[in-house]
């Protein structure tokens, strides 16, 4: 099982899309194991987006991410990182395929609704930035036997 960080960005929160987006992850079979509505500080945004420092869009990105509340989620499942990124769609809403979150809800190339970790290493780093010890939970879901095939001894 992988756990990934998902951020519903200020535009998703302001547009009232949180419930619709969370529903997509749950309907897919992924498990929400952490959630926090928060205002990101400039310091946290700078740390989170440190790989983009010096790029032309960096200041605008930090300004956007700190402009209004966000919803941070820890989402778990087999292949959760790749599944979540596929569900998000292409980075720019204008280029995202219908059926993806960005394709269905976004048209802007600046406001793209959602962030998702792009690797297990990034997920571990990002989750530790937004969640303290004990805030990402481990709990059994009875439905997992209907989400995953455990016939071979491990979920698939």
Catalytic residue IDs = 115
Collapsing DSSP to helix, strand or coil, 86 comes out as helix
Contact 47, 128 (CB under 8 A): no
Cα–Cα distance, 138 to 96 (Å, whole number): 33
- Owner of token pair 């032309």: 56
Contact 36, 130 (CB under 8 A): yes
Number of H helices and number of E strands within the chain?
A: 8, 4
Nearest residue to 4 via CA among 79, 71, 70? 79
């Amino acid at each position: 099982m992988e756990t990934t960080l998902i951020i519903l960005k200020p535009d998703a929160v302001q547009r009232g899309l949180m419930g619709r987006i969370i529903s997509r992850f749950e309907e897919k079979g992924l498990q929400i194991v952490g959630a926090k509505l928060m205002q990101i500080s400039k310091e946290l945004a700078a740390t989170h987006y440190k790989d983009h420092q010096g790029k032309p869009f960096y200041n605008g990105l930090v300004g956007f991410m700190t402009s209004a509340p966000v919803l941070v989620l820890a989402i778990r499942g087999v292949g959760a990182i790749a599944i979540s990124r596929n569900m998000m769609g292409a980075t720019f809403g204008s280029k995202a395929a219908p059926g993806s979150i960005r394709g269905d809800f976004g048209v802007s190339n600046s406001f793209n609704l959602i962030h998702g970790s792009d690797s297990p290493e990034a997920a571990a780093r990002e989750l530790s930035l937004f969640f303290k010890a004990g805030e990402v939970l481990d709990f059994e879901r009875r439905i997992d036997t209907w989400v995953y095939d455990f016939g071979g001894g491990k979920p698939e």
